[in-house]
Amino acid sequence: MTTTGGSDESPSVALRTEALEQLLTERGLIDPNVMDAIITRYETSVGPLNGAEVVARAWTDPDYRRRLLADGTAAIKELGFSGPQGEHIVVVENTPTLHNVVVCTLCSCYPWPVLGLPPSWYKDPAYRARVVREPRTVLAEMGLTLDDDVQIVVRDSTSEVRWLVLPERPSGTEHLTEAELVPLITRDAMVGVARVAAP
Q: How does pLDDT run along the chain (199 residues), one tens digit per residue?
A: 433 334 444 557 678 878 888 888 888 888 888 877 777 766 666 689 999 999 999 999 999 999 999 999 999 999 999 988 889 999 999 999 999 999 999 988 999 899 988 999 999 999 999 999 999 999 999 999 999 999 999 999 998 999 999 999 999 999 999 999 999 999 999 999 999 999 9
Backbone angles phi, psi at 81, to 5 degrees: -105, 115
- Among this protein's residues, is 109 annotated catalytic? yes
- Catalytic annotation, pick one of 10, 108, 157, 159: 108
Distance, C-alpha 155 to centroid of its chain: 13
Question: Is 108 annotated among the ligand-binding residues?
Answer: yes
- Among this protein's residues, is 12 annotated catalytic? no
Q: Where are the domains of the chain?
A: 46-191
Query: How do 162-166 and 151-156 pair as beta strands?
Result: unpaired
Question: Is 45 annotated among the ligand-binding residues?
Answer: no
Residue 175 per-residue DSSP state: T
pLDDT given at position 56: 98
The residues near 116 (Cβ < 8 Å, ≥ 6 apart) are: 42, 43, 46, 47, 48, 50, 187
CATH for 46-191 (3.30.70.141, 3.30.70.100, 3.90.330.10, 3.90.1750.10): 3.90.330.10
**Can you tell me the distance from the alpha carbon of 55 to that of 60, in angstroms, rounded to the nearest whole number?**
9
- Catalytic annotation, pick one of 10, 12, 45, 104: 104
The residues near 195 (Cβ < 8 Å, ≥ 6 apart) are: 94, 144, 167, 168, 170, 189
